[in-house]
Chain A
Amino acid sequence: MKLTRILNIDQRKVSNRVVLSDNIILLIVFIGIFLLFSLLSNKFYSYMNLNIMLKHMVLMGILAVGLTPLMISGGIDLSFGSNLSLSTVIMALLYDKGINLWVSIFIGVLLTILIGFINGVFIEMFGILPILFTLGMMSVLLSVALVMASFQYADIKMVTQTSQSIAIYSDELYIFANSSFLKIPIPVFILVILVIFFWIILRFTRLGRRIFAIGGNINISKLFGIRVKKIRILLYSIFGLLTGFAAIMSISLTGIGYPYSGAHLLLPVISAVVLGGISLLGGKGSIFGTLLGLLIMSVIFNGLTILNVHTFYIQTFQGLTMIIVVATYEVRRRRSLNR
């Protein structure tokens, strides 16, 4: 009797109220911020600026797209920034020593996959908290990148922490970064292909359903016979592969291998993923949410840069946006529980 009453009330409430989904709220926020910047600056809505914004978004986007399935399955990797830096340094160093461009890029990507695999194996085999392990890995990889970058000098002890980038100039990379098709830069297509690919995997394949199941409840997934460790190690390795792609993007945009080239990426990428509705506990999230979070973060960054706001303020704004949106999520979630 009581149960049906509760159910009736619930149905009435649901039918009466228009409930906005999280992604629609993000879309509204994005459009709002976009319009705001278009009003504030006439340069914002120019082709040149949007072009630059999109290219830098691709760099962050590749990482965020790779991080999404990993975080849905309950893992996390904080070492991608240093991983990317190390990869750019290795690519540039090999190219500098006279090795073929494609071979050196291949070795760089192979290295990022290997590091992702090592992360996965250690975390899953020992049952370590992924945040901690990858935090340690971050510092180790940064140091290795610094050491590698100092190989171009004769005396390592003279090298300070800054000023050690290795140039990697090549026509192919320049063309890749600067040409466009239908006025849209080529790298954007790569991001679009990746997004569609991961969307299909998460939405329509058995692997995708298993990823959500693992994040939702790891013990029940084990009881159902899902090989949790195997899948998570696979996801860590895939994220390593995408970090390698992002490293290629980074060297084509900047033309250097630099031990700190990934250091500034950690906060925006994690914020973008978290904005997209992924919880650190796993089991929730979508690729399109991540994409929207990414768009918001890069519009904020680009718009404030256009308005001549100092980089440090931009960090503040990005942090604020993240906290406000995540707080909104939490409040909405609790309300929906109370309803």
Chain B
Amino acid sequence: MNRAKRESIFINFKNLNKRSIIPTLLITYIIMIVTVSLINPLFVSLESIKSILIYLALTGISSIGTTFVILTGNFDISIGSILAITSIVVAKLLTLETLGIPISVVIIAGLLVGLVIGSINGFLVNVVGINSLIATLGTLAIFRGIAYVFSGESLIVYDNTFRFIGRGYLFQHVPVTFIYLIVIFIFMYLILKFTRFGRYVYSIGGKAFVAALYGIKVKKIQFLTFIISGVTASIAGILMTSQLGLGRGDFAIGWEFKIITICVLGGISISGGRGSLVGVLISIFILGSIINMLTLADVPIIWRDFFHGIILILAIVIDRIRVRRGELSQF
């Protein structure tokens, strides 16, 4: 029995940290940046970087929330629908001229949408006991349908204060959405690393059965992760409404795919229990830049999905190879 195999049986946590996926991701990202900026120097210009930061903040916020769900070994593919319905609710409340609802109330209402749909998902998965993929596929269809119905046309938001929430810049150059991303990232990172809740999330993903034997309330924790995922999706929805200045029912179609790609690329194991938020953050950057990179490298837009798919496939194949070589544990 060689050394790698022996290690795969007795999990050595010190070793796991040493061989994390993060350096590989960073090097990949740097190589990508260098290559693209050699092809087209415009990529490293201030405007380009700004637009990338604005673009990646929304997917980033939402994928940080979904990471929790995936860490417990479940899926949440209803994110896109939650985002769309939040945007409809927010835009509708803001366009009701006669009432003049204050913006803080509107934002709370938007977050409530995410909370409610997240709890519906959590209820279906934990109380009723449906497989999370099927349950969220169902809610995906239901709420996408409702979101479409409520928006015959785009609901345009004229409120300038609300528009600033997503469009403003700090110190003239740093987009506020990026600041939100960083704040949410740090907050979630601390929760995952230093609280009991965070440790429980990891242990449920490792082996839910064993976690239950240890007295962890598995269902309660899983319920909470679905709520976190829903609320972050609705934060992204509010920001998107503010950035584009309108609410539409077809926002964020296909986001579930993007976000699962981000999580897998960031080293989050789909069977749960392994991976860190730092990897997710780097892969948010990689996937957020890639559209910009392709455009600047003069690749036709129809190839975009091709690259997304190939990245996902490569990420999972590499993940499996690393598991097989004993660099990572199965858990």
Q: Which residues of A contact B (CB under 8 A)?
A: 122, 126-129, 131-133, 135-144, 146-147, 150, 156-157, 159-161, 267, 270-271, 274, 279-281, 310, 312-320, 322-323, 326-327, 330-331, 334
Contact = CB atoms under 8 A, between A and B. Distances in A.
B34 to A, nearest CB: 25
B134 A136 contact: no
A136 B128 contact: no
Contacts of A139: 257, 305-306, 308-309, 312
A126 B303 contact: no
23 contacts: A128-B317, A131-B270, A136-B309, A136-B311, A138-B309, A139-B309, A140-B309, A143-B305, A143-B309, A147-B300, A147-B306, A156-B300, A159-B300, A161-B301, A271-B137, A274-B134, A310-B149, A315-B145, A319-B141, A320-B138, A320-B142, A323-B142, A326-B134
B88 to A, nearest CB: 12
B27 interface: no
Given A126-B317, A326-B130, A140 B310 contact: yes
B124 A323 contact: yes
Contact of B145 (A128, A157, A280, A314): A314
Given A315-B145, A316-B149, 18 more contacts: A122-B317, A126-B317, A128-B316, A131-B270, A132-B316, A135-B257, A135-B260, A136-B312, A147-B300, A156-B300, A270-B137, A316-B142, A316-B146, A323-B130, A323-B142, A326-B134, A326-B138, A327-B128
A173 B123 CA distance: 48
Contacts of A323: 124, 130, 135, 138-139, 142
Contact of A131 (B133, B320, B321): B133
B231 interface: no
Contact of A137 (B131, B134, B148, B313): B313
Interface of B: 75, 124, 128-131, 133-135, 137-146, 148-149, 249, 257, 260-261, 264, 270-271, 300-313, 316-317, 320-321, 324
B306 A322 contact: no
Q: Would you call the interface of chain A mostly helix, strand, loop, or mixed? A: helix
A315 B144 CA distance: 8
Kindly name the residue among A131, A143, A320 whose own CB sees the greatest number of chain B CB atoms within 10 A: A143
Contact of A128 (B140, B257, B320): B320
A87 to B, nearest CB: 17
B271 A133 contact: no
Contacts of B260: 132, 135
A132 B134 contact: no
Contacts of A146: 302, 305
Given A135-B312, A312-B145, A322 B302 contact: no
Contacts of A129: 270-271, 316
Contacts of A318: 141
Contacts of B75: 131
A334 B134 CA distance: 18
Kindly name the residue among B146, B149, B313 whose own CB sees the greatest number of chain A CB atoms within 10 A: B313
Nearest to B120: A323
Contact of B310 (A136, A161, A317, A334): A136
A155 to B, nearest CB: 10
Nearest to A140: B309
A319 B305 contact: no
A256 B313 CA distance: 30
B300 A140 contact: no
Name the 6 nearest CB pairs between A and B, nearest first. Answer: A319-B141, A316-B145, A139-B309, A140-B309, A143-B306, A312-B148
Given A129-B271, A330-B129, A319 B140 contact: yes
A334 B143 CA distance: 28
Contacts of B270: 129, 131-132
Contacts of B140: 319
B121 to A, nearest CB: 10
A287 to B, nearest CB: 20
B283 to A, nearest CB: 14
A147 B303 contact: yes
Contacts of B257: 135, 138-139
A296 to B, nearest CB: 14
Contacts of A141: 309
B86 to A, nearest CB: 17
A159 B144 CA distance: 28
B300 A132 contact: no
A160 B302 CA distance: 8
Nearest to B323: A127
Nearest to A149: B302
Contacts of A314: 145
A137 B261 CA distance: 12
A316 B141 contact: yes
Contact of A312 (B139, B149, B312): B149
Kindly name the residue among A126, A136, A160, A317 whose own CB sees the greatest number of chain B CB atoms within 10 A: A136
A319 B142 contact: yes
Contacts of A281: 131
A133 B316 contact: yes
Contacts of A317: 145
A249 B261 CA distance: 33
A147 B142 contact: no
